Structure 1
Amino acid sequence: MINRKQICLWVALVLASFRSWAAPPDEGMWLPMLLKQMNEADMQKKGMRLSAEDIYSINKSSLKDAIVQFGGGCTGEIISNQGLLLTNHHCGYSQIQSHSSVENDYLTNGFWAMTREEEKPNPGLTATFIVRMEDVTNQILGDVPPGLAEAERERRVQANIQKVRSQATAGTHYDAIIRPFFYGNEYYMYITETFRDIRMVGAPPETIGKFGGDTDNWMWPRHTGDFSLFRIYAGPDNKPAAYSPDNKPYTPKHHLPISLAGVQQGDFTMVFGFPGRTNEYLPSMAIKEIYEISNPAKIKIRTTKLGILDQDMKADPKVRIQYAAKYASISNYHKKWIGENRGLRKLDAVARKQEQEQKFTQWLNQETGRKNTYGDVLPQFEKNYASLANGITLSRDYFLEAGLGVELINLSQGYVQLAYLLQQNLNSPEAQTQIEKLRSSAPGFFKNYNMPTDKKVFAALLDMYYQDVDRSFHPEIFGTVTQKHKGNWNAYANEVYANSSLTSLQQVNELLSLKPAEMLKRLQRDPAVQLTSSLIENYRIKTLPAYTTLTDQNTLLNRTFLQGLREMMTNKKFYPDANSTLRVSYGQVEGYQPADGVNYAYYTTLEGILEKEDPNVADYKVPAKLKELYQKKDYGSYGVNGTMPVAFIASNHTTGGNSGSPVINADGELIGLNFDRNWEGTMSDIMYDPERVRNISVDARYILFVIDKFAGAGHLVKEMTLVDRKTSTPEKPATKAKAKK
């Protein structure tokens, strides 16, 4: 007879199992072409008034036709019928920087093209639309038998991918991207159209576009006007074309109307974009490696590097401009990894994954067939991650972060390659091609390079590399440095930078103008080339083979493990990890509780910017014009009852690559621009927590206000389609947050 205690225990186990395996509300990055069968009903239940075909269709214009992959690493969206493109300020930052100088500083002062002729071209910048998606799993895996050796399997898969891509794009100007999903259990093809004439139209000053800076990065409450404007240009047939003054603004199939209604607690939200990378199905051993080994090492290295850059940037305005984008890029994931580790600890992520793995083991032991198929997966994971933890992971992280984190070493890689080609054949076409490549890239490198700063980074990071990585993984040259300089890395830095031909544009141009034989001799004597060659050779021999073998094995194990999970949980809707392909996530506007006794509301206002203002801190300077508009409450049609909304949060599942993604309301209208996540939710790349994970967005009304009232660029607003359904002022903004820095 079952007693009360046994029943309670059974209920607890069922609930625990449900919590472990069922996708929490709003979790997931879903494939647009599968929304009808996977998500439409749930999305409409949560308030969406669109159909799945309104979001993704190949038969009519749909929301997907307004979404682009911007520059390969961000998302953008079309907001007018004249190709006007909206993305984040930090996504357009390198373009803003490239047009800036000390005399004409668009980073500090902002930029607004008042005519089409003033819009600035950006060589190399692209905007890519998705024409359609297709499940090509059968075409890719149809002739790949189970149990095939992994190397042979990959050879067949790649051959099939090439065949399918060629067939899909033959006779068109389109391209095709085919990516593995669920660790290679499925394959999907994206047919793409890429535009290459993208011009800068507008950007607010850093005091708006970067307000809060690195201090507030990944944090909520937030008051950053993180947006910039570009325009797509096309040839006379409205198709992609190389830059030409004769090109015309692109006429899109669809552009997003912009809502003036704003947001309220509980409103449905949808994010449409190109999330970069998540790893939601990792085993506990992988999470332990990230938490205990990899993240701490990378955090330590970047903390040191950022400290050096910060000091030099504050001391010299030229260095500040040169290193602004680099600093922001380095700082971004530095802070993310800190928050990720904090979130993994708070979720007790390793223990929760171990609990899942226990249930998986119980399931596979129920049948001999399951045990034969899946029985070796978890033990082999244990073995592989133990090997990685024995110095391999740390050696790899230090090579990539500390070794290649030095600009001179990073630059020297190309010259190591040149020396190799010259050794093979002094007059080979390959060597000449490499020389031209290095010659053409050198001006861009040295425009944003300060040798004294890099020399400080060199000494600090290589000292850490030497101290923290096991001696068995040291490059041979470390021994030479130890003997010659008695372990003094500053002395070694002085020697390298004084004698290398790669520390200035003049020296590089002189080197590349030499005859091949003399060039080779100079390269072989160059201390930077010698160091870089030693680092690369060491990594290639001691670290990379073992790391590649183990990670390839883990990829195969993950494929098998995930196949087993999907077989075990037939009622669960699985979403694939992000891989820079177009996805939809959805949730709702809502605040959260980051810590005991602390509650954050879901939105911020202009009042919070003035509360944070500190003229002595670069991150918290406020433009005089913005203060004037605030004092006069001159918000135009964008304010609500005397307040100016700035930002809001929602429970959409996002990651890197979603920067610049539109936040869309229940009617398919733009209500915000995604630009960040909250610090407490950064572990969502590995494990989602519905109580704490929030995406952070600029309110569309604040974007319009800055363009129109602050910048006086109302002609841009006139291009847009505004939907005016006014709402009342929310009760309480999430201000008073400066103490949380």
Structure 2
Amino acid sequence: MVSRRIVILQIIIRKSSIMKTLRLLFIFLSVPLFAQQGGMWIPSLLEGMNESEMTNLGMKMTAKDIYDVNNASLKDAVPHFNGGCTSEVISNQGLLLTNHHCGYSQIQSHSSLENDYLEDGFWAMNLKEELPNPGVTATFIVKIEDVTTKIMDGITAAMSEAEKQKKIEQNIANVTQTSPKEAYQENRVRTFYEGNQYMLFVVETYKDIRLVGAPPSSIGKFGSDTDNWIWPRHTGDFSLFRIYADKNNRPAEYSKDNVPFTPKHFLPISLDGVAENDFTLVFGFPGTTDEYLPSIAIEQVINTINPARIAIRDAALAIQDKYMRADPQIKIQYASKFARIANYWKKWRGETLGLTKSNAVGIKKQQETALTSEINKKGKQQEYGQILPQFEKHYTEIEPYSLAREYYVETVLRNVELLRIAYQTYQLKQAYENRGAQSFEDRRNNLIERAESHYKDYSKQVDEEVFEALIALYVKNVQPQFLPDFFKNLNAQSLTNSVYKKSAFVDFASLKNLLEGDAETVMAKLNNDPGFQVVSDMADAYNEKVAPKYEELKLSISGLERDYMKALLELSPKDARIFPNANSTLRVTYGKVAGYSPADAVYYEPVTHLEGVMQKYIPGDYEFDVPQKLIDLYKAKDYGQYGENGKMPINFIGTNHTTGGNSGSPAIDAYGNLIGLNFDRVWEGTMSDYYYDPALSRNIMVDIRYVLFIMDKYAGATNLIKELKLVHPKKEIGKSKKKKKKK
């Protein structure tokens, strides 16, 4: 365990002053025995340390094979899927592979009681059967360039934090507008190392993405919420889409005249499978991590923020689950929403357990002590000496505001659907008051268009019960000074009855009628609607009593984080492995296939098989039911070329450092071939967004052979199998070695 190694190291340090320079490296980074694993690295900067580490782990490629501006490389096969997940191109006709849960909303949107693709799966047997998905995108990275000098131009130490941020924003806008690109490309500037580095990304976004294939939820979501974040896992979490382009292979909106996209590179697929200690590279767009937060921030996550988030979603999920189990129509309507809410609810629970178990707070305090020692040793007290005391002050002050913000966001913007729609009309009112009638017209039309789709999957009965439960929690747990005045003596049941009997937000026809008329007429009708009154009072109270102070303190904390990161970069040993936090930009993480031991006398093997599905099988259960055809294939051991030693591998785990956004990321072998599809992390390691512990942190991947088995033997989609390039790199290497020996 990391914490035990630190204790041993401290004893050595006390005995030898020669070891002082190693103290910061070992205590701060906390990964002395796993120095080649963990981290989310910028692909354009892999040459040097990262390339050496990957080679030592068994990689046979070069850094240029992964990222190259002038030649096709792995980056050209890994697009950002719809802004939230990762995907990979697996054929020369733009066939796109991602997770089932990443394509879940699209699968659901095409489903009905008559054609329930969630229940039965969907497979297009030719191009004409592929289904369009308006609004879905696939974004490729064309080029990455360091523009730190340009972004920091004109920044001085004498500036206030607000002045610095304003100047930085101006510089970002200028670089974005003036940097060269093609007309169909886009420039984006992103910050790294908490504002100590800035990178320009040139991207191409394709907008005609069609659904090609998806297994039934009994395969693609097997284990559902019970198994989510859990190992061992037995889930075929994949779906297939296709990118379409115009006749010049460039991005275009949907058109029947568009043609399948021809990629610069697509991933060959290895049929050789995986074994313990095999090299794994996961390429993707991890969302957000905070690996360098101070100990007091982690304490707040454990003791204040996560408990609030979990309690709110506990209540919402229990109500939704009750209705979904009783009504097939509600089950379809709420399937995607329930999965989205449950995903991070369970993650936060595991995260809290992992942070506690790994002693993350204690380790970070040791790191802070070591950094303070280094600051004093180098005479940097004036520059960095007040950072940690200021962290303590600001985090203590922001805590009640952060708690109030979490309750507001989780209640109004995420979990009560009536409030979420009503909040959009609150924004409509603000647009009218601040920008006039034209802005009102534009927003109203967009709102009505979005709302029509929303109400297709809305149940007044479900939402009413969620509203009552969450408003009661809001009143109970948000400090009184942050509440709307009428909340202070509120009866949640009485308010709920009034809102859901009288508000126009309970169905689409009423809402559409509410929004008809000129701006003044609509505003008058809104102000008389009880649903709008509730959200308006809640939003006004938040915007007046919580947001200003929260944003003020958050800005100060952001400045401290930048200076803290600068201190770490400056004062850590030259070979320290300090990687930038995730920010939804393209990253590489590398490691090995490996089991782990989460508790005394417990060891988890790194690979699961179809036998495990049958052991978990519960007929008729919505989480653990199994299609009859899969049972028949299992009994016959009819695995085709995809099985191994009479068994069908399903999932495997590795030491790759992943997070949300890495869903759908390709797992790539030492030679650049696809071996799996990332989709989750283990329960014990979900704290890796704040603290990566190599003893516990494991990412979970679908074995690509299971994906092919389902496509081929289960679905009969041989038309798709024929598109793929299937290879045997291990066997080919073995043959080459034998030939050399004969010579």
TM-score of the aligned structures, taking structure 1 as reference length: 0.94
Q: Distance in 1 between matches of 2:165 and 2:590?
A: 34
Work out whether residues 133 and 188 of structure 1, in 8 Å CA contact, stay in contact via their aligned partners in 2: yes
Match of 1:559 among 553, 559, 562: 562
Q: What amino acid is aligned across from residue 111 of structure 1 in structure 2? A: F
Stretch deviating more after TM superposition (612-621 or 703-712): 612-621
Indicate whether 1:163 and 2:174 are aligned.
yes
Q: Distance in 1 between matches of 2:13 and 2:657?
A: 34
- C-alpha change, 1:37 and 1:475, in structure 2 (3 Å) is same
- C-alpha change, 1:617 and 1:186, in structure 2 (3 Å) is same
Work out whether residues 274 and 582 of structure 1, in 8 Å CA contact, stay in contact via their aligned partners in 2: yes
Match of 2:592 among 588, 595, 602: 588
Q: Distance in 2 between matches of 1:611 and 1:432?
A: 57
Tell me what 2:68 maps to.
57
Match of 1:10 among 15, 33, 50: 15
Matched pairs, number: 715
Tell me what 1:691 maps to.
695
Match of 1:444 among 418, 439, 453: 453
Indicate whether 1:724 and 2:717 are aligned.
no
Match of 1:214 among 225, 231, 251: 225
C-alpha displacement of 1:525: 0.8
- C-alpha change, 1:8 and 1:165, in structure 2 (3 Å) is closer
Q: What amino acid is aligned across from residue 704 of structure 2 in structure 1? A: A
Q: What amino acid is aligned across from residue 199 of structure 1 in structure 2? A: R
C-alpha displacement of 1:6: 8.4
Tell me what 2:543 maps to.
540
CA deviations 1:347-372 (Å, max 9, x no partner) are: 1111111111111112222344x100
Indicate whether 1:679 and 2:683 are aligned.
yes
Match of 2:508 among 487, 500, 505: 505
Q: Secondary structure at the match of 1:618?
A: coil
Q: What amino acid is aligned across from residue 644 of structure 2 in structure 1? A: V
Work out whether residues 398 and 469 of structure 1, in 8 Å CA contact, stay in contact via their aligned partners in 2: yes
Tell me what 1:382 maps to.
392
Q: What amino acid is aligned across from residue 289 of structure 1 in structure 2? A: Q
C-alpha displacement of 1:424: 7.3
- C-alpha change, 1:643 and 1:725, in structure 2 (3 Å) is farther
Indicate whether 1:466 and 2:470 are aligned.
no
Q: Distance in 2 between matches of 1:41 and 1:374?
A: 33
CA RMSD between the two structures? 1.8
Paired-residue identity, %: 49
Q: What amino acid is aligned across from residue 604 of structure 2 in structure 1? A: Y
Q: What amino acid is aligned across from residue 467 of structure 1 in structure 2? A: K
C-alpha displacement of 1:584: 0.2
Tell me what 2:5 maps to.
none
Match of 2:287 among 270, 276, 281: 276
Q: Secondary structure at the match of 1:231?
A: strand
Work out whether residues 403 and 462 of structure 1, in 8 Å CA contact, stay in contact via their aligned partners in 2: no
Q: Distance in 2 between matches of 1:606 and 1:553?
A: 52
Match of 2:643 among 639, 644, 660: 639
Matches within 5 A, 1:124-139: 124-139=135-150
Q: Distance in 2 between matches of 1:612 and 1:437?
A: 45
Matches within 5 A, 1:178-577: 178-368=189-379, 370-389=380-399, 391-404=400-413, 405-420=415-430, 428-479=437-488, 482=489, 487-571=490-574, 572-577=576-581
Q: Distance in 2 between matches of 1:179 and 1:170?
A: 17
Q: What amino acid is aligned across from residue 189 of structure 2 in structure 1? A: I
Structure 1: runs of 5 or more not aligned: 728-741
CA deviations 1:16-74 (Å, max 9, x no partner) are: 75542236321100010110123001100110000000000011100000000000000
CA deviations 1:502-527 (Å, max 9, x no partner) are: 11111112222245443322211111
Q: Secondary structure at the match of 1:192?
A: strand
Work out whether residues 412 and 423 of structure 2, in 8 Å CA contact, stay in contact via their aligned partners in 1: no
Structure 2: runs of 5 or more not aligned: 1-9, 732-743
Q: What amino acid is aligned across from residue 200 of structure 1 in structure 2? A: L
Matches within 5 A, 1:31-50: 31-50=42-61
Q: What amino acid is aligned across from residue 166 of structure 2 in structure 1? A: R
Q: Distance in 1 between matches of 2:16 and 2:236?
A: 48
Q: Secondary structure at the match of 2:143?
A: strand
Q: Distance in 1 between matches of 2:600 and 2:713?
A: 40
Stretch deviating more after TM superposition (666-675 or 20-29): 20-29
Q: Distance in 2 between matches of 1:18 and 1:84?
A: 44
C-alpha displacement of 1:171: 4.9
C-alpha displacement of 1:336: 0.4
C-alpha displacement of 1:725: 4.9
Q: What amino acid is aligned across from residue 217 of structure 1 in structure 2? A: N
Work out whether residues 625 and 710 of structure 1, in 8 Å CA contact, stay in contact via their aligned partners in 2: yes
Work out whether residues 181 and 202 of structure 2, in 8 Å CA contact, stay in contact via their aligned partners in 1: no
- C-alpha change, 1:223 and 1:365, in structure 2 (3 Å) is same
Q: Distance in 2 between matches of 1:396 and 1:511?
A: 29
Q: What amino acid is aligned across from residue 394 of structure 1 in structure 2? A: L
C-alpha displacement of 1:462: 0.4
Q: Distance in 1 between matches of 2:198 and 2:580?
A: 11
C-alpha displacement of 1:132: 0.8
Matches within 5 A, 1:614-633: 614-633=618-637
Q: What amino acid is aligned across from residue 623 of structure 1 in structure 2? A: P
Q: Distance in 1 between matches of 2:438 and 2:183?
A: 32
Work out whether residues 218 and 678 of structure 1, in 8 Å CA contact, stay in contact via their aligned partners in 2: yes
C-alpha displacement of 1:345: 0.4
Work out whether residues 28 and 370 of structure 2, in 8 Å CA contact, stay in contact via their aligned partners in 1: no
Work out whether residues 273 and 658 of structure 1, in 8 Å CA contact, stay in contact via their aligned partners in 2: yes
Work out whether residues 260 and 726 of structure 1, in 8 Å CA contact, stay in contact via their aligned partners in 2: no
Q: Distance in 1 between matches of 2:180 and 2:116?
A: 43
Work out whether residues 110 and 206 of structure 1, in 8 Å CA contact, stay in contact via their aligned partners in 2: yes
- C-alpha change, 1:713 and 1:156, in structure 2 (3 Å) is same
- C-alpha change, 1:442 and 1:600, in structure 2 (3 Å) is same
Work out whether residues 143 and 201 of structure 2, in 8 Å CA contact, stay in contact via their aligned partners in 1: yes
TM-score of the aligned structures, taking structure 2 as reference length: 0.94
C-alpha displacement of 1:139: 1.0
Q: Distance in 1 between matches of 2:565 and 2:76?
A: 32
